């Protein structure tokens, strides 16, 4: 079984980002970038499946500029076999990414696609669902457990009402939740080895995919500053303050 894993290059979650002066987006100049944390979990799940004999090859894919090769090299250092960069300077929206992945699934004859449940830069949480619709394939979102049993996958997924267990056939699309695993630490020797692994660069135009945007960002602004907290002497004072602020008698 071949597994295709999507990875995205995003701002490091430990770095504070700032809105551009024109309000058109986030200023990424001189910002530390990293692999989307949910995508790291998806890569780890794929590598574990290969290590256990459930998969034969793990191929990681990223869409974006040349700098996205950094994210792919990290995924290769985690244990992926090879990487594909779909290169473009255009800002890709979820539908465009899903269309690109659909083409690569067909080209690679991948039986399973693993993605992070969302990217931390835009929190769209749409690509996995859109890809499953385009492929007309079963999907499981927010996966916290994945087990292969012959020609079936058993996936435990997180829902608002608790945990749900689903059985799926191949090909399938799964998006990873935080509880799925703890990604392994990438060591320097593995990073050096990753430089020797194949990384194919594909121009997005060669895929014949319509990547035109379907919506536009009107403005971006920082959230309102929070009011400073206040330390109260005891519970009685807290109850009194809550009653006053909520107009309770």
- What are the pLDDT digits (tens) for 104-152? 999 999 999 999 999 988 888 999 999 999 999 999 999 999 998 888 9
Structure confidence at residue 248 as a pLDDT band (50, 70, 90): low
Confidence at residue 116, expressed as pLDDT on a 0 to 100 scale:
94
Which of 165, 67, 49, 63 is closest to 111 using CA atoms? 49
Candidate from 23-27, 52-56, 146-150, 184-188 with smallest mean pLDDT: 23-27
pLDDT score at 159: 85
Cα torsion 37, 39, 43, 46: sign? positive
Give the model confidence (pLDDT) of 65-110 as tens digits.
999 999 999 999 999 999 999 999 988 999 999 999 999 999 999 9
Q: What is the pLDDT of residues 183-238, one digit of tens each?
A: 999 999 999 999 999 999 999 999 999 999 888 888 888 888 888 888 889 999 98
Q: In this predicted structure, what is the pLDDT of residue 149?
A: 86
Closest C-alpha among 9, 49, 14, 62 to residue 200? 62
In the chain, where the domains are located? 2-246
Structure token pair of residue 109: 């004859």
pLDDT at 249 exceeding the cut of 70? no
Q: Give CATH superfamily name and number for 2-246.
A: HUPs (3.40.50.620)
Three-state DSSP at 162 gives strand
Residue 27: pLDDT above 90? no
Give the pLDDT of residue 162.
87
The closest alpha carbon to 48, from 173, 157, 145, 163, belongs to 145
Q: How far apart are CA 5 and CA 11, in angstroms?
A: 19
**∠ at Cα 9 (8, 10), nearest 5°?**
110
User: Is this model's pTM higher than 0.75 or not?
Assistant: yes
Residue 192 has what pLDDT?
A: 92
């Amino acid at each position: 079984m071949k597994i295709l894993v999507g990875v995205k290059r995003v701002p490091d979650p430990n770095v504070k980002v700032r809105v551009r002066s024109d309000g058109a987006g986030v200023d990424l100049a001189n910002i530390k970038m990293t692999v989307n944390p949910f995508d790291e979990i998806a890569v780890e799940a794929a590598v574990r499946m290969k290590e256990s004999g459930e998969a034969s090859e793990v191929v990681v894919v990223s869409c974006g500029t040349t700098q996205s090769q950094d994210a792919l090299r990290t995924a290769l250092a985690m244990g992926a076999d090879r990487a594909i960069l779909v290169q473009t300077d255009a800002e890709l929206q979820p539908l465009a990414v899903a269309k690109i992945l659909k083409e690569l699934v067909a080209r690679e004859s991948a039986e399973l696609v693993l993605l992070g449940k969302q990217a931390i830069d835009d929190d769209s949480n749409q690509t996995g669902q859109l890809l499953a619709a385009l492929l007309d394939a079963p999907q499981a979102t927010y996966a916290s457990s994945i087990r292969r049993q012959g020609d079936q996958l058993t996936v435990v997924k997180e829902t608002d009402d608790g945990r749900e267990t689903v059985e799926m056939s191949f090909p399938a699309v799964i998006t990873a939740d935080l509880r799925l695993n703890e990604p392994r630490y990438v060591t320097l020797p593995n990073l050096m080895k990753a430089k020797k692994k194949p990384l194919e660069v594909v121009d997005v135009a060669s895929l014949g995919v319509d990547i035109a945007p379907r919506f536009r960002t009107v403005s971006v602004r920082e959230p309102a500053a929070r009011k400073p907290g206040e330390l109260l002497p005891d519970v009685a004072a807290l109850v009194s303050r809550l009653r006053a602020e909520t107009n309770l008698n």
